[in-house]
Structure 1
Amino acid sequence: MTRKIYQSLMVIMVSLGLVFTLAQAQNKKALTFEDFIKIKRVSDPQLSPDGKQLALVITSMSLETNRGNSDIYLVPAGGGQPLPFVFSPAADFFPRWSPDGKNLAFISSRGGSPQVWVIPLSGGEPRKLTDFPGGVGSFSWSKSGRFLLVTSSVFPDCPDLEANRRRFEQQENSRVKARIYDHLLFRHWNSWFDGTRSHLFLFPLDGGQPLDLTPGDYDTPPIALGGELDFSLAPEEKEIAFVRNIDPELKLGLGTNNDIFLTTPEGKTIDKLTVSRANDIDPKYSPDGRYLAYRAMARPGFEADKLDLIIYDRQKKTFSNLTDKLDYSLSEFVWAPDSQAIYFLCEEKARTALFKLTLAGGKIEKILEGHYLSSLRISPDGKTIYALKQSLNHPSEVYALDLAAKKLKQLTAVNAELLASLEMNPAEDFWFESEGDRVHGLLLKPPFFDPNKKYPLLMLIHGGPQGAWEDGFHYRWNAQMFAAPGYVVAMVNFHGSTGYGQAFTDSISGDWGGKPYRDIIKAVGYLHGSYPFIDQNKLGAAGASYG
């Protein structure tokens, strides 16, 4: 091939590439509500014990039925197309591997109420394991595989599960549905108290009877401010840590006094481990059984307090706060397989930061920042972190982080085809001065943005108010849906927001209406003066909860 012919072919190929790219851009469209409903929601990745594959939940929504359906998929740990493994017209979710990796247990409502089912990895039909009258909320395997720890709703005055079954049937068949409440906390968010409590059971897999480990008029996990699971079995299987709040009803509605308790698989004794009047949650034993780690607040009654990482040394009977000098609140953590380190996430400037804490010496190292991660899992060799990653213009997918190289690799692309047809811009950061501090916000431009045009400005106001807007694909108040009709969307993390240090969060306590309002007004002025494409005569506001 001559040089001239080669150059001519290259020109043709580049030209065709430009035409193809332009055609792709022309074929894209703005996000519609119908498209939004089509987005598949990836959640709860669980790594197999051998580290070779992940089980994950994919939820598909239906506009026709106005409901979603969750199924369980498997994907190689190196990435690839998720393959359906557990699926039915009912909801299948909460996959958990057996310790030997030969079976996958999960929660399914295919039998009516949510129960634990199990399916062999070699194939076959799922088999129902549990039959709790109040259904199953969550569960975990014992290391030996001999039993499960299961949470289920019970009437605390019923002596056994059969009595509970009769009570549930009576309640269902009764023509009277009205209730009388004579105590506080009769409702939490949109859940009304129905007389039941969530209890933790030991469920033997050899056919024995379930044992209620947390009897009494209390909830495990707690009603509010709980952690990821809020119960944990020590590796030697002689101790179980769990969370509940035993405050009287009056204090329960006003306080945050979740505590960590210890019991045995026989359930003969219950000992209170923590003594703080503030929130103690999320207990997790180290793989070697030496330590129990958990997250804890310091100030009673303050839901927006910083969550620190506390280590309880089971041999020395000592407690250590290992993140007291870190000015961020822990959102989740995972033990390294060798029990010598803990990896944890903190909310940081509308995203998350991943840290490594080395127990010997207490050194804290920032591993990764600038992304929005969740659902941390770690490989058996301790070299790879698996997590969900999302952004304002991309729903969650599974990623792998090489801890040595500190590089992320996308493993799944469940919505690739749909997203390729949609024009959704990424978030842009902006900062402005207010109340003597730098205040952060996220700016989202509308699809097919033209800098020479003028666009109305929409201020989205977050709830809490001690919460924050994050660079995530939210399904309740999705910023792309607001931008799609042609708005520039601004999301201000005003004073009181989380992820900017505890003093910034505390700065509005006792005055929720002052600084946040002034921050938003100053943000409007800053945006009008900094972005010429914003129409200063067209301004709107939207929000939810506090917003």
Structure 2
Amino acid sequence: MIYNKTMLGALMVMSISFGQAQNRKDGPMRIQRTKDQSVNQLTSEKSPLTAEGLWKFGRVSAEQLTADGKHLIYGVGNYDLESNSTERHLFSIPVMGGTPQQITNEKGSESVLDITAQGEIIYLFKGDLWKMASDGNNKIQITHTEGKLENVKLSPDKKHILYSQSVLITPTHGPDKYKDLPKSNAYVYDDLDFRHWDTFNDGRYAHPFVASYTDGKLGEAKDLLEGEPFYSPQAPFGGAEDFAWSPDSKAVLYVAKKRVGKEYAQSTNTDIYRHDLASGQVTNLTEGMNGYDTNPTFNSAGDRLTWLSMKKDGFEADKNDIIIIASNDSKQRVNLTAHWDGTVNSFVWSKDGKKIYFTAPVKGTVQLFELAVAKSLSAKSKPKIIQISEGEFDITGIVGEYNGGLVVSSTRLTRATEIYRYDFKNRQLTPITTVNDEAYASIAETKVEGRFTKATDGLDLFSWVVYPPDFDPTKKYPTLLYCQGGPQSAVTQSYSIRWNLQLIASQGYIVIAPNRRGMPGWGVKWNEDISGDWGGQPIRDYLSAIDDLSKESYVDSDRLGAVGASYGGYSVFMLAGVHEGRFKSFISHCGLFDMVSWYGTTEELFFANQDLGGPYWDAANEKTYNDFNPIKHIEKWNTPIFVIQGGKDYRVPIGQGLEAFQAAQLRGIKSRLLYLPDENHWVLSGHNAQVWQREFFKWLSETL
């Protein structure tokens, strides 16, 4: 067994309505409810959640706590359908409770860089630095730069800033390569890494810059990677977390994968570099560590440096550990979480430097953990790791520490992000922000339960099951199997604007979302077992989950569907060929249909090499490219299928969706294609998202 049966039993007890608080006396955490969360309200007096309503929720994100920990600065983004854009503003609220105060109202988005001891807020707005009083008054622009500043970090002594800008290093785009041909849109490449995520490589690289910062004026900027074809922050999603200042402001730390071409496309080996500003000396602090090394963070005293580290090069979903060193000794490294059977999402130091708090997936949720950091560390150190939160929610981020607890962001499957206090003494979550409470008060609740199924190999398989509003067990409901992407991303209490299980259930469907093989939160082995076995045990897990739920009298087994994106879309394509008549409808978004052509066109080859075993011409990978290849099962397809594909999806390129749709059409199967030419692996435009939702439910109404 890879998990503790006692913990599984405790999780079974947590299967309660999402309008209800976790309130077990023997449990370590409760959620304090506001009045509008009462489960005594009749759902029949409310309306089901709609796609339009989903996009009206305020998008809450934490910025920073004030130095004394008494006030929180946070942002709220609101989407406008008419303009198809989101406007975000900053607010201030007392941590211990009070009325929020809006402190910005200018058009555009602001992000907080620093809050001084006097309460002044330094923030980034339209690519420049600004400052304002704590109440939002006296706004002053303090820099006037030609190019936008991005990923800015102020030095501890406030005399320098660290930021990133894009620099042309190796011209590949026609107008850069041939100045006399400005209207050319051609690209020329001699190596791989020619495109990534949704962008072709034009020879420009994000580089870290340092400049002096005096009275709002920037001195001459120094490019710390001058002339080098490397990204820092990492492409495509790295940000300011890839930068850090040394406590004495004399050095900068940055994350970079210093590889090019084929090596870049096949490696995850990022390193953390220390650049001494006076001497220009660069030191690789993670030399010999071959996987992802990210998020360099000093403790408050500045004598300890920590970061997140994965061990294996090429494995993007490897166990993520916390590494610690004395800040001036990169050779004495200690892995603080090596002995723990889990993977870390994010972490922060306690104010006193004695503990590290971190978040990690566990048993279908994401929870808070703590570990004590000893004064003296050795390679044999095994600090005690304690899970300090428990409940039907995710802790999605740790904002900081206040007197008595932590400020965290949290979601549930039926609640968008809000910010909470976590009290160390009573282990209770109490809401600080209630941005969407009024909206949720008029929405019919959807019950969510945890369910365990015996997998085909005898192990326990956990799933979240979401029921329609006013669920009546004497009736029968169409039921959807939700197939998660990743493939090593967890199904927890996260909240999505697109794959929103509450929204799907609100249209009258039961939804089951299994924690199949490959998902973190059930031990390292469970997480790793999907690599090389995409079409094997994970697919059997999906069938076990839906077969088990179908035994319930309220499930209409003649109206089953399967839906999913990315690896979930691949799962739908696989299920279409092996489901043996179970399902009546399929929806696959950005799914992998032909593993051979996918390997030949995807961009992050390290992922394909790890999870598929390598290229299709290697005989050792025959099972992956035959038995586990959806296109090889096309002769068994006989069920209506809806295919969705983004035109700028270079992770799962356009040919995958088009091949699948064309095959279904030629086989005479009822099928539909939703093509989104300007979307990548996701759907980011609000208008496109509305089309997505309308077509999604239209298809289900036609086929189920």
Q: Distance in 1 between matches of 2:118 and 2:340?
A: 37
Q: Which residue does 2:197 correspond to in 1?
A: 189
CA contact (8 A) 1:184 1:253 kept: yes
Q: How has the CA–CA distance of structure 1 residues 234 and 23 changed in structure 2, closer, same or farther, with 3 Å as cutoff?
A: closer
Percent identity of equivalent pairs: 30
2:151–2:240 Cα contact (<8 Å) kept = no
Task: Tell me if 1:504 matches 2:526.
Answer: yes
Question: Deviation string for 1:277-333 (max 9, x for gaps)?
Answer: 211111001111111100101111111100001001235541000101111111000
Letter in 1 for 2:311: A
What secondary structure does 1:86 align onto?
Answer: coil
Partner residue, 1:211: 222
Choose from 116, 119, 122 the match for 1:102: 119
1: CA distance between counterparts of 2:322 and 2:144? 34
2:416 to 373, 390, 395: 395
2:296 matched to which residue of 1? 283
**Per-residue deviation, residues 86-137 of structure 1 (Å, max 9, x unmatched):** 22222x132222343533233333xxxx44433233612341525252x333
User: Shift in Å at residue 407 of structure 1?
Assistant: 1.6
One-letter code of the match for 1:214?
L
Secondary structure of 1:205 counterpart: strand
Alignment of 1:141-540 (within 5 A): 141-156=154-169, 174-206=182-214, 207=217, 208-215=219-226, 216-223=228-235, 229-266=241-278, 268-275=280-287, 276-315=289-328, 317-360=331-374, 362-370=383-391, 371-379=393-401, 381=403, 383-434=404-455, 435-529=457-551, 531-540=552-561
Match of 1:4 in 2: none
Structure 2 residue aligned with 1:84 = 102
- Name the CA distance, whole Å, in 2 between partners of 1:522 and 1:23: 35
Q: CA deviation at 1:204?
A: 2.4
Task: Give yes or no for contact 1:212–1:267 (8 Å, CA) kept in 2.
Answer: no
1:352-374 Cα offsets, whole Å, 9 max, x none, are 12111111162222211233012
Alignment correspondent of 1:49 = 67
Taking the aligned partners of 2:201 and 2:298, their CA distance within structure 1 comes to: 32
Q: Conserved in 1, the CA contact under 8 Å of 2:361 and 2:490?
A: no
Relative to 1, partners in 2 of residues 1:101 and 1:457: Cα closer, same or farther, differing over 3 Å? Answer: farther
Distance 1:116 1:46 in 2: 16
1:124 aligns with 2:138: yes
Is 1:139 the counterpart of 2:160 in the alignment?
A: no
Q: CA deviation at 1:225?
A: 7.6
Kindly report the root-mean-square deviation, in angstroms, between the aligned alpha carbons of the 2 structures. 2.5
Preserved CA contact (<8 Å) 1:71 1:86:
yes
Match of 2:161, SS state, is strand
C-alpha separation in 2, matches of 1:76 and 1:147: 30
| 2-structure distance, mates of 1:139, 1:502 | 35
352-361 or 303-312: which moved more?
352-361
Displacement after TM superposition at 1:35 (Å): 0.7
Q: 1:355 to 1:267 in 2, by over 3 A?
A: farther
Cα distance in 2, alignment partners of residues 384 and 310 from structure 1: 24
**Which residue is equivalent to 2:571?**
none
Preserved CA contact (<8 Å) 2:153 2:240 = no
- Contact 1:136 1:153 (C-alpha < 8 Å) held by counterparts: no
Q: Which residue of 2 aligns with 1:71?
A: 89
* CA distance in 2 between partners of 1:267 and 1:385 (Å): 39
- Residues 234-259 of structure 1: per-residue CA shift (max 9 Å, x gap): 22222322110002321111110000
Aligned residues: 511
SS state at 1:368 partner:
coil
* Partner-residue secondary structure (3-state), 1:274: coil
TM-score under structure 1 length normalisation: 0.88
In proportion to residue count, which structure has more strand?
1
**Alpha-carbon separation, structure 2, partners of 1:229 and 1:21:** 40
Aligned partner letter, 1:180 = V
> Conserved in 2, the CA contact under 8 Å of 1:71 and 1:93?
yes
**Following the alignment from structure 2 to structure 1, what is the Cα–Cα distance between the partners of residues 42 and 448?**
22
Q: What is the DSSP-based 3-state SS (H/G/I as helix, E as strand, rest coil) of the residue aligned with 2:55?
A: helix
CA pair 231-542 structure 1, distance change in 2 beyond 3 A:
same
CA–CA separation in structure 2 for the residues paired with 1:23 and 1:445: 17
Deviation string for 1:60-86 (max 9, x for gaps)? 011112221111111111123322112
Q: 1:427 to 1:223 in 2, by over 3 A?
A: same
Question: 1:201: Cα distance to partner?
Answer: 1.8
- In the TM superposition, residue 443 of structure 1 has moved relative to its aligned partner by 0.4
Whole-Å separation in 1 of the counterparts to 2:140 and 2:465: 47
Distance verdict in 2 for CA 1:418–1:474, change over 3 Å: same
Cα 1:193–1:119, aligned 2, differ >3 Å: closer, same or farther? farther
What is the rounded CA distance, in whole Å, between the counterparts of 2:439 and 2:563 in structure 1?
A: 27
Give 1:156 shift.
Answer: 3.6
Distance 2:467 2:47 in 1: 14
CA distance in 2, matches of 1:402, 1:152: 40
Secondary structure at the counterpart of residue 63 of structure 2:
strand
Secondary structure of the equivalent of 2:503? Answer: helix
Distance in 2 (alpha carbons) for counterparts of 1:228 and 1:436: 45
Structure 2, unaligned stretches of length 5 or more?
1-34, 375-380, 569-704
Shift of 1:377: 2.4
Change (3 A) 1:25 1:495: closer
Partner-residue secondary structure (3-state), 1:469: coil
